[in-house]
Amino acid sequence: MNFSRKLIRRLLKKPRFRQFVVVTRRLDGSLPVFQARIPFDFEELPQDVEEIEASLAHLPAVHRNDIGHRVQRRDLCHTAKHNGQIIFASWIAFGERYSYALDRRYKLADSEAYLYSVYTLPEFRGNGVYPAAHCHSLKLLNELGYKRILACIDPENFAAMRVSEKLGYDKVGTTGFIEMFGLRWYFHRDHAAFSALKPRSFWRKV
């Protein structure tokens, strides 16, 4: 009886589909330089949970919901500050990146970095802060010896797609999942951009 109920629940589960565009950029060539329309100070926040939480308290919860884990993984938080206020923040991961949207881990090679959780305060969007600040991040990663940066972008986030193209990122594939009857199939097609990622597709019960 128990088995029958579980089976029925699985069969009645609504199918789901989630997909992101995989983009990548080389860091060992010429790097872009953009000027924002408003002045800002670029800053890398210290690896201190309480200080980062206090600095980002005005950002949406989704961009600061696991700062303890981010700091523990040694992820970097890069910010842009205008008139004393942080108006932009982005995170860069190394070694391994966990995607909350997909509930999947992405293994990175030693020479790879991963950009995620990028956010600009709404009232400052359209001023070119994101591309200008990200140029600083690219330069720092290059100086640290990293050869490639990757990101996964929601295809419906047209602004993020435009900025990634402006910054010289290339679309290399897609990653996501298809879910039916309590089973989820993960797919990842990126022409080996994530050079350390294995396996690229697999099944999982949900």
Q: Tell me the per-residue pLDDT of 47-93, one tens digit each, with 9 for 90 and over.
A: 999 999 999 999 999 888 899 999 999 999 999 999 999 999 999 99
Identity of the amino acid at 148: R
The answer to whether the beta carbons of residues 181 and 21 sit under 8 Å apart is no
Residue 45 carries which DSSP code? P
Residue 28 confidence (pLDDT) = 87
Question: In Å, how far are 46, 90, 116 from 77, measured between CA atoms?
Answer: 8, 6, 10
Compute CA 153 distance to the chain's CA centroid, rounded to the nearest angstrom: 7
Q: What is the pTM of this model?
A: 0.91
Tokens coding 13: 């589960």
Question: In Å, how far are 27, 131, 133, 149, 163 from 146, measured between CA atoms?
Answer: 7, 19, 18, 8, 21
The answer to whether the beta carbons of residues 148 and 25 sit under 8 Å apart is yes
Residue 182 confidence (pLDDT) = 86
Domains, the chain, with CATH or none: 14-205 (3.40.630.30)
Residue 198: which pLDDT band, with cuts at 50, 70 and 90?
very high
Tokens coding 130: 């994101």
21-35 confidence digits (pLDDT tens): 999 999 988 999 999
The H-assigned helical ranges of 56-95 are 67-72
Q: Whole-angstrom distance between the N-terminal and C-terminal Cα of the chain? A: 20
132-181 confidence digits (pLDDT tens): 999 999 999 999 999 999 999 999 999 999 999 999 999 999 999 999 98
Q: Which of 154, 77, 150, 138 is nearest to 108 (CA)?
A: 150
Cβ neighbours around 182 below 10 Å, total: 14
